[in-house]
Amino acid sequence: MSGPGPTRREPVAARVLQRFSGGSSEHREDELVVEEPLEIRLGDDPLAVLMRTPGHDMDLAVGFLFSEGVLRDPAQLLLVEYCADITDDARGNIVRVRAEGADPKAAEAARREVYASSSCGLCGKTTLATVRLLAPDLTPPPSLAASLLRSLPARLLESQSLFARTGGLHAAGLFDQQGNVELVREDIGRHNAVDKVLGAMARDEVWPLSGRILVLSGRASFEMVQKAAMAGIGAVVSVSAPSSLAVDYAREAGMTLAGFVREDRLNVYSGEVVP
């Protein structure tokens, strides 16, 4: 399913800075998270350009197509590969997905007419009407324990190796309903981290992702909750705030949504959580 890859593009780069502390300063080298464009092609047709952190690019491309409803079944995937017939500067920054039965309307709705920045997964959408995708019916999760949900952000942080080096990445983690981590991905973009998780599971032919909990290192926007719903995930936990639209969508879909989750507290906006 995957083609050969190019020379690895590193997710971290060194830059010299001047640090002030007290009454003195020094020049030193610091590690920064890399931000580069990734072009996603469906067949030979360019579909989107996402600003992302290099790493797990094929997962990101596949996850993007699944979370946007362009693909819905792992059996549709034929090949995922880096494009080789390109310039050296672009090598490692263009991924081609070959698939059968892709939804042309969803593909057109997902098309980015401009660069999608690492902070906004919806930038470049032609209209807001294209945002509300038809997600599959969700099976409501069982009542989850507050103590379990409060423990998940710390477990996510334990797997954030690049964040420990740079302090500049978001993360998304997939957990089972007992709190065991299944997969964690990091990226400078919150939505990219989620798509990397979804793409990895789809490429492993584990789909839909019912019975899982999605844990986010940042805020729970509408798009993040929608991505979870598209994958059949019934519970989303965020260390920050949800948006009003995210709460409305979670309630409509029958999802559990918790925000401001810490070791000693959490807010439940949708679903049933027990003490």
CB neighbour class for 132 (10 Å; exposed up to 12, middle 13-18, buried from 19)? exposed
The pair of structure tokens assigned to 172 is 């998304």
Strand partners, 212: 176
Find the helix or strand (DSSP H, E) in which 182 lies: strand 181-187
Report the C-alpha gap between 28 and 20 in whole angstroms: 11
- Preceding omega of 74 cis (within 30 degrees of 0): no
Helix, strand, or coil here: 255? coil
Q: What is the DSSP string of 188-250?
A: SSHHHHHHHHHHHHHHTT--S-TTEEEEESS-B-HHHHHHHHHTT--EEEESSPBPHHHHHHH
From 120, 133, 146, 268, the catalytic residue: 120
The residue to which tokens 């990226």 are assigned: 187
- Which residues, in sequence order, are CB contacts of 87 under 8 Å at separation 6+? none
Q: Is 120 among the catalytic positions? A: yes
Q: Cα separation of 49 and 123, whole Å?
A: 11
By the 8 A CB rule, do 33 and 168 touch?
yes
Which of 165, 164, 156 shows the shortest CA–CA distance to 194? 156
Report the 10 Å Cβ neighbour count for 119.
13
CA 229-212-258 angle, 5° bins: 70
Q: Where are the alpha helices (DSSP H) in 37-145?
A: 57-67, 104-110
Catalytic annotation, residues? 120
